[in-house]
Amino acid sequence: MLCGGGTNHRLDLASGILIKNNHISLGGGLPVVLKRALENRPEGQRVQVEARSPQELEEALEFGAEAILLDNMTPAEVKLAVERIRKQTQGKAAIPIEASGGIVLGNIRAYAETGVDFISVGALTHSAKAADISMRISAETA
């Protein structure tokens, strides 16, 4: 990915906190889970919330998400969400916005044109073809 010009905005899962729908469901709702994450995170770690609808986005903004992952939205929905987030944070520190879910080579430009800061393409890892590489070693005879 790096050789192709892409960059990582997270090194690994320990580089930040991503609150997804299962965390919210099992943790008592977004306000509870987000508050807990903000209070208990390691210093410098950003708390990102996944939003799959305008309602989830509003809740993430209301309760202090520091980054937003817009998941499985169309480019049109992402564009509206980006405008909403930028309006909410006008004059404040910018909230990084990431688009994810169903993004492939054929539609990535449409997502890039929405104004998001990051685009995640899962196919880079889960659909990459493996190279068939082998090494044969044989003893040298004298």
Residue with more model confidence, 130 or 64? 64
97, part of any domain: yes
60, part of any domain: yes
User: Token pair of 7, please?
Assistant: 């960059």
Q: What is the pLDDT of residues 87-127, one digit of tens each?
A: 988 878 789 999 999 999 899 999 999 999 999 987 766 77
Domains contained in the chain, number: 1
Sheet containing 67-71: give its strands across: 17-19, 47-51, 67-71, 97-100, 118-119
CATH number at residue 108: 3.20.20.70
- Looking at residue 123, what DSSP letter applies? H
77, part of any domain: yes
What pLDDT score was predicted for residue 140?
Answer: 85
Total-model pTM:
0.82
Q: What is the pLDDT of residues 44-56, one digit of tens each?
A: 889 999 999 999 9
CA distance 47 to 65: 6
1, part of any domain: no
109, part of any domain: yes
pLDDT at 13 exceeding the cut of 70: no
130, part of any domain: no
Domain around 107: 13-125
What pLDDT score was predicted for residue 119?
Answer: 93
What pLDDT score was predicted for residue 15?
Answer: 77
What pLDDT score was predicted for residue 90?
Answer: 84
134, part of any domain: no
From residue 40, how far is each of 15, 18, 33 by CA, in Å?
A: 14, 13, 11
53, part of any domain: yes
pLDDT at 4 exceeding the cut of 80: no
